[in-house]
């Protein structure tokens, strides 16, 4: 028995523990928020007197010099972490979710519904902004506020971090001010080293490292998703700031005319097509108050059809010929003609020109260009399966017939049952699937629209509908074989072949396949004195769901016949031929539950269709 008072006390203790943990977490968050990076005091060291240095002395590093440099660094160690963090300044790289531009395509402006996206719109759909590190590229130019680490060892040992002042200089003890403003990061080491070497020409080694860059504030304007002011590093790319602004508006902004304005003048012009096609993106060092201006979208041409890039492409004044659009859209090799529809001053146009003549065609805003394959292939390819020798694929002239090909296929007469050849055809598969789907739709309508005269009958109909729905779902998963019967009575029809035909040459076999609603589906050796009853008995007999009145016989040539049990107890078919032959398949179909009286006929018909087209007995 549970003591309720103890349970309540235990619950109260748990609540107090949870409240205490929550309080401690809040204290920890507050403490983390007030911690700042402290600046480590630099050790003040009296400059070493300048030693007597032999100018001709070799300046190769020795083991003693390396040890001396290490001792100097240890004695004047500087905590660089505070500078690597840019003194807590926000460079625009706080964790953020990737810009989601789906809304731009879900709500296009009037007249743009259904048009493909502009070429380059996916540039701003990723989250690379949050993944970018605070690294500096070699083209970055030093600016006031930057931190520079200077290490000297040899005759003079020193380690210090200096800040670029407002005049663009750094001050080095015993050296004086050194001008570093606007010096590229890749040349900073040489510039500072040369200034030090003027005072210490020999036996002094210098290492210079740019630790951090001062953040810059850049404006992004024009047709972008979120125009405004954004922080970053001077070495950041144009794509970084555009992505921070949500990317270019795909229906209004230009991907080919983007300017960076500095003091009202154009400092650099960008065309993102160069980056998208060739990976070319000019490097540029941004400054405070620079303005990235995205221009209004230029004339747009929509590409459709046989092209690798079916997008909307932006034209420029120097770039309105068909040859330029071919370079962007990259039509497939099979393209033979180009259809262009649009509007001109004189009225609407609709032209259809050969692909070779499209190079000099002048395009205009809102044109729709369709790259079309209007040359029909004059050859077809077919596949050989089953018992044959030689290649399995053949290329034939269009209009070739079956016997024309069979005369070139080598077979072993003792192994190949070449008189029972048949074809699997893709167009027949589609037609068979369509017929089955139409039958299933009729069955659905008859089941779900059946009237009920009472509540009890309605409950029964509902249960029947659920069972039939499961049957329909399984039936839709069946893939027909697309058999075309071309052989009968050892005669092969010389039919016209189609692209993708698979010609099946069966193998000679002495087996009869028994499957479907039998207890043990298996292959049984053919016996010319055995009846259908015998084969069913050898397969274990009928299952509980078997239709004992009829069976489906699938012959080696792909043809099918129903065998029915007559009143005298013998199996017979509508054909005068022998019922079973070596290589045949005996398929026992399931019996439809008579409780589903309304749909028995439809379901029976569908079962027969599936059995004939796919050689499957579906429950």
User: What DSSP line would sit under 567-600, residue for residue?
Assistant: TTS-EE-SSSS-S--TT-EEEEPBPPPTT-TTTH
- Of the candidates 154, 174, 153, the one whose C-alpha atom is nearest the C-alpha of residue 73 is 153
Q: Say whether both 146 and 71 belong to one domain.
A: yes
Cα 566–chain centre separation: 60
CA separation for the pair 247, 242 (Å, rounded) = 5
pLDDT of residue 617: 65
Q: Say whether both 467 and 607 belong to one domain.
A: yes
User: What DSSP line would sit under 466-528, residue for residue?
Assistant: HHHHHHHHHHHT-----EEE-EETTEE--PBP-TT-EEEEPBP--EEEEEESBSS-EEEE--T
CA separation for the pair 514, 553 (Å, rounded) = 10
Structure token digits, residue 52? 């007597």
The CATH number for 78's domain is 3.30.1950.10
Which residues make beta-bridge pairs with 313?
A: 301
The CATH number for 501's domain is 3.10.560.10
Q: Hunting for tokens 């075309």 — which residue is that?
A: 484
Which residues make beta-bridge pairs with 385?
A: 504
Which H helix or E strand runs over 147? strand 147-154
Low-confidence residues in the chain, pLDDT < 70: 1-114, 126-139, 212-213, 452-453, 457, 566-570, 573-578, 593-602, 615-619
pLDDT digit string, tens, across residues 395-415: 999 889 999 899 889 889 889
Per the structure, the count of domains in the chain is 4
Q: Say whether both 241 and 350 belong to one domain.
A: no
Residue 515 structural domain = 435-614
Strand 511-516 to strand 522-525: parallel, antiparallel, or no bridges (unpaired)? antiparallel
Q: Say whether both 561 and 602 belong to one domain.
A: yes
pLDDT of residue 104: 53
Is residue 204 included in any domain, yes or no? Answer: yes
Name the CA radius of gyration of the chain, rounded.
Answer: 42
Q: Say whether both 304 and 287 belong to one domain.
A: no
CA separation for the pair 512, 587 (Å, rounded) = 10
Is residue 495 included in any domain, yes or no? Answer: yes
Q: Say whether both 584 and 491 belong to one domain.
A: yes
Which H helix or E strand runs over 159? strand 158-163
Q: Say whether both 584 and 473 belong to one domain.
A: yes
Q: Say whether both 451 and 315 belong to one domain.
A: no
Question: Which of 266, 296, 326 is at the close of a domain?
Answer: 296
Q: Say whether both 153 and 175 belong to one domain.
A: yes
Is residue 221 included in any domain, yes or no? Answer: yes
User: What are the residues whose beta carbons fall under 8 Å from the beta carbon of 77, sequence distance 6 or more?
Assistant: 159
8 Å CB contact between 565 and 550:
yes
Is residue 47 included in any domain, yes or no? Answer: no
The CATH number for 315's domain is 3.10.560
Q: Say whether both 253 and 354 belong to one domain.
A: no
Q: Say whether both 341 and 257 belong to one domain.
A: no
Q: Say whether both 608 and 460 belong to one domain.
A: yes
Is residue 271 included in any domain, yes or no? Answer: yes
Question: Which of 296, 315, 336 is at the close of a domain?
Answer: 296
Is residue 383 included in any domain, yes or no? Answer: no
Question: Which of 212, 239, 267 is at the close of a domain?
Answer: 212
Is residue 17 included in any domain, yes or no? Answer: no
Is residue 90 included in any domain, yes or no? Answer: yes
Instruction: Provide the Cα torsion 467, 469, 472, 474; round to 10°.
Output: -70
pLDDT digit string, tens, across residues 97-131: 444 555 555 566 666 666 788 898 888 876 555 44
Query: What values do phi and psi take at 437, rounded to 5?
Result: -65, -40
């Amino acid at each position: 028995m549970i003591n309720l008072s103890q349970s309540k006390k235990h619950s109260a203790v748990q609540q107090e523990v949870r409240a205490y943990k929550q309080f401690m977490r809040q204290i920890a968050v507050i403490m983390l928020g007030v911690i700042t990076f402290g600046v480590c005091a630099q050790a003040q060291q009296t400059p070493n007197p300048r030693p007597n240095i032999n100018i001709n002395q070799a300046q190769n590093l020795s083991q003693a010099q390396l040890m001396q440099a290490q001792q100097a660094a240890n004695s004047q160690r500087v905590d660089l972490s505070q500078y690597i963090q840019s003194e807590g300044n926000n460079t625009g790289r706080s964790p953020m979710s990737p810009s989601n531009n789906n809304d731009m395509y879900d709500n296009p402006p009037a007249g743009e519904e259904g048009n493909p996206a502009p070429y380059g719109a996916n540039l701003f759909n990723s989250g690379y902004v949050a993944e970018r590190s605070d690294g500096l590229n070699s083209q970055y130019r030093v600016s006031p506020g930057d931190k520079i680490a200077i290490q000297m060892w040899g005759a003079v040992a020193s380690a210090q971090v200096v800040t670029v002042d407002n005049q663009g200089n750094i001050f080095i003890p015993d050296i004086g001010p050194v001008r570093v403003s606007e010096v590229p990061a890749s040349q900073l080491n040489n510039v500072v080293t040369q200034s030090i070497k003027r005072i210490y020409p020999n036996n002094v080694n210098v290492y210079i490292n740019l630790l951090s860059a001062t953040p810059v504030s850049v404006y992004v304007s024009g047709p972008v998703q979120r125009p405004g002011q954004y922080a970053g590093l001077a070495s950041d790319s144009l794509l970084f700031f555009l992505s921070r602004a949500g990317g270019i508006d795909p229906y209004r902004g230009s991907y080919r005319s983007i300017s960076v304005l500095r003091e009202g003048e154009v400092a650099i012009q960008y065309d993102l097509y160069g980056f998208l096609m060739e990976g070319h993106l000019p490097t540029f060092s941004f400054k405070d108050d620079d303005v990235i201006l995205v221009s209004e979208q230029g004339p747009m041409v929509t590409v459709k059809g046989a092209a690798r890039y079916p997008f909307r492409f932006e034209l420029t004044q120097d770039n309105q010929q068909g040859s330029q659009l071919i370079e962007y859209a990259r039509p497939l090799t099979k393209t033979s003609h180009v259809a262009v529809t649009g509007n001109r001053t004189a009225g609407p146009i609709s032209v259809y020109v050969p692909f070779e003549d499209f190079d000099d065609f002048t395009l205009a805003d809102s044109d729709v260009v369709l790259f079309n394959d209007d040359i029909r292939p004059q050859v077809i390819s077919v596949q050989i399966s089953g018992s044959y020798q030689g290649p399995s694929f053949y290329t034939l002239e269009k209009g070739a017939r079956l016997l024309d090909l069979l005369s070139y296929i080598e077979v072993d007469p003792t192994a190949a049952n070449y008189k029972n050849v048949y074809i699997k055809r893709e167009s027949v598969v589609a037609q068979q699937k369509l017929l089955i789907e139409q039958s299933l739709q009729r069955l659905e309508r008859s089941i779900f629209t059946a009237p009920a005269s009472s509540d009890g009958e309605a409950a029964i109909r509902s249960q029947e509908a659920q069972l039939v729905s499961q049957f329909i779902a399984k039936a839709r998963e069946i893939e027909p074989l697309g058999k075309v019967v071309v052989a009968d009575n050892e005669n092969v029809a010389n039919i016209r072949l189609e692209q993708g035909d698979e010609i099946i040459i069966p193998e000679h076999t002495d087996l009869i396949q028994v499957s479907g609603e039998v207890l043990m589906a298996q292959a049984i050796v053919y016996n010319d004195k055995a009846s259908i009853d015998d084969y069913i008995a050898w397969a274990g007999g009928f299952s509980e769901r078997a239709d004992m009145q009829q069976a489906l016989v699938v012959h080696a040539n792909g043809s099918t016949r129903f065998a029915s049990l007559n009143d005298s107890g013998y199996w017979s078919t509508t054909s005068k031929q022998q019922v079973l032959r070596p290589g045949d398949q005996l398929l026992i179909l399931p019996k439809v539950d008579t409780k589903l009286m309304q749909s028995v006929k439809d379901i029976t018909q569908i079962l027969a269709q599936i059995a004939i087209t796919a050689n499957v007995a579906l429950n």
